[in-house]
Structures are given as structure tokens and as C-alpha cells.
A and B are shown apart, each in its own frame.
Chain A
Amino acid sequence: MTVAVIQFGGSNCDRDSVRALAHLGIDAERVWYEDGLPADATGVMLPGGFSYGDYLRAGVMAARTPILEDVRAAASEGVPVLGVCNGAQIGCEAGLTPGAFTINESARFQCERVHVRVENADTPWTRAYDEGDVLDLPIAHGEGRFEASDETYDRLVDEERILLRYCDADGVVTDDANPNGSRGNVAGVLGDRETVAVMMPHPERATLPDLDGTDGAGLLRGFEAALAEV
């Protein structure tokens, strides 16, 4: 299997993502967005960064590039797709996942560690965990506040498509533990298919043992888990 990590102008987590996936034994390679999605890609990762300088809205320019048509088609066939940080913003702007990630409540860029609670462990991305597990992950974003209409939010809750919520170290979802004002403390959601997910925290920065913690490794293993279920 080869996961295509798509590099846009201004992506900056593409190399980290390839390295973290390789560490887990998941073959991955960087793909320049103009080259289109390789036909044999068995997964797609939309990495973090500042594609197109966050012009207009974070992620929107990348979301309108032709390769996202390829990604949408692949996603609809069950190819696993994971968007992280700027990749999450791109995923929402492209309509792969519902809602939007917009300017933090603080109106500032925030680079810090957070705790997130696994809300649904019955998805490829969270199979490595139990429901209620608390993960220690880094965030680094200025536009990470999850917004959705009442109708969309209720649907996400009903359909158990909320993947992660910001919480305190004990796993309690509180306002104080919400770093950016996200609706319902939402840190990650699923698309129409459970093989498509986006999240603001960076699992690829919490995978290599020589960095600080490996709580994110299980999330990246979703690429394996998704294919195992096909």
C-alpha cells in the first residue's frame, strides 16, 4: 500500500507525515498536487501547513485544485483519506467532511499540547483505542475553531461521527479544555464514510518515539485499518 501525502504550495507537514507513516511500516510518498493522484494510491493524507498563505480562508485554495476532484472520487470508492490541521481545513472546504474550521476564539495562532478524548472507537482511525481514551497531542493552528449549523452538529452526534473532543487530562470535556472555542469541543470528525476523517491535532507529531509521546500513532494506523476492512 502507498499513502499519497499531497503537497501543496505552502504545505509544511508533508515530510513529517511521510516519516511518521514510514516509521509505522506504512508506505507513503509525497505527491505534488499538480501531478494528480496516483492511480495506485491506497490512501490519501492532506498534511498540515499554510497552503496558499491561508488566503481567503485557510484551506480553500487547495480545496479548489483539480487533485481534490481525484481525492473526492477516491474517497467515494472507499480509499481512506485523512486531513490534519491545514489538511482538515482543506477537507471541510472541499466538502469531504461537514462543518468548517475557522478563526480561533482567541484570534491568535496557538501552538500547544492538548488532550483529546476518543468519542467513537469503532472507526478505522480509532480502532487502536478504547472509547473514552485520552490522547496527548500537539496542536498548531490559528483557524481551528470547529463550526457547524445546529442541524449538521446534531446529525454528527446522532451518527457518531465525532471522532475526538478536547478534554482535560482526566477525559472530562470542559470549556477550559477547549483551546479554540470549537463547537462541542470538537477536534476531529468523520465524513460521510468512516474512512474519511479530519482533525486539527497533529498525530504525525506524536508518533516517532524520539519526539514527545506516541499517542498519535494509532490514528495514523487508520490507513491500515481502513484497508483491512474493505
Chain B
Amino acid sequence: MTAYTATVTVRLKRGVLDPEAETTQRALERLGFELEDLRSADRFEVDLDAESATAAEERADDMAERLLANPTIHDYEVEVTER
């Protein structure tokens, strides 16, 4: 078994309104920053032991499918690194 960290990034699908990001953008602009756009995402760092990087990725995929992301509004990606 090898120790991995699976990083799961969950973000809103393109076109789905993100009111928190819009509020954050307005706050940055109020502070005098210049920016074009801002998107937010949730990042989960999952430490796990698995037989291979592929097995670790599959397990993290399953976590995203079953809990971390909502397929109606979210896309997600998984990145696995050795820890």
C-alpha cells in the first residue's frame, strides 16, 4: 500500500450562477482591486492508502460522485499525489 493525497476540486458548472463569488468580486473591487472575473471552488484534500495511484483516484472519484459534488450543479476533478 502507498500513501496518497487525493485532491478533489469541486466547482460550479459553467453557466451556473455563483452569488458568493459575485459578492466576493464586488468586495475586492470595493477594496480597489481591478479584476475581470472571479470563480470559487471547493478543494478537499483526502489522505488515503491504496494499492496504486489509479486505485486512489477511483476511490476519490467515488467520494465525489456520492457526496462531495452534486452532479446537477457541479463538475469536479481529482488529482492524486504520493504523500
For residue A99, CB closer than 8 A to chain B, the reply is yes
Set B17, B67, B72: member contacting A105, Cβ < 8 A = B17
Residue tally, chain B, CB below 8 Å to A: 13
Q: Within the assembled complex, what's the spacing in Å between the Cα atoms of A98 and B71?
A: 11
For residue B79, CB closer than 8 A to chain A, the reply is no
> Do B70 and A107 touch across chains, with their CB atoms under 8 A apart?
no
Stretch at the interface among B19-27, B31-39, B47-55: B19-27
> Do B72 and A100 touch across chains, with their CB atoms under 8 A apart?
yes
For residue A64, CB closer than 8 A to chain B, the reply is yes
Contact A145:B17 (CB < 8 A) given known A107-B22, A107-B23:
yes
> Do B72 and A148 touch across chains, with their CB atoms under 8 A apart?
yes
Q: Within the assembled complex, what's the spacing in Å between the Cα atoms of A92 and B66?
A: 13
Interface string of B1-35 (1 = CB under 8 A from A): 00000000000000011111011000000000000
For residue A57, CB closer than 8 A to chain B, the reply is yes
- 8 Å CB interface, A148-170 against B: 148-149, 152
Q: Is the interface of A mostly helix, strand, loop or mixed?
A: loop
Q: Within the assembled complex, what's the spacing in Å between the Cα atoms of A107 and B20?
A: 6
- 8 Å CB interface, A129-153 against B: 145, 147-149, 152
Residue of A nearest to B19 (CB): A107
**Closest-CB distance, B17 to chain A (whole angstroms):** 6
For residue B80, CB closer than 8 A to chain A, the reply is no
For residue B78, CB closer than 8 A to chain A, the reply is no
> Do A149 and B19 touch across chains, with their CB atoms under 8 A apart?
no
- 8 Å CB interface, A34-52 against B: none
- 8 Å CB interface, A93-129 against B: 93, 98-100, 102-107
The 8 A-B residue pairs whose C-beta atoms are closest, nearest first, are A107-B19, A100-B72, A107-B23, A103-B19, A100-B73, A147-B73, A107-B20, A100-B70
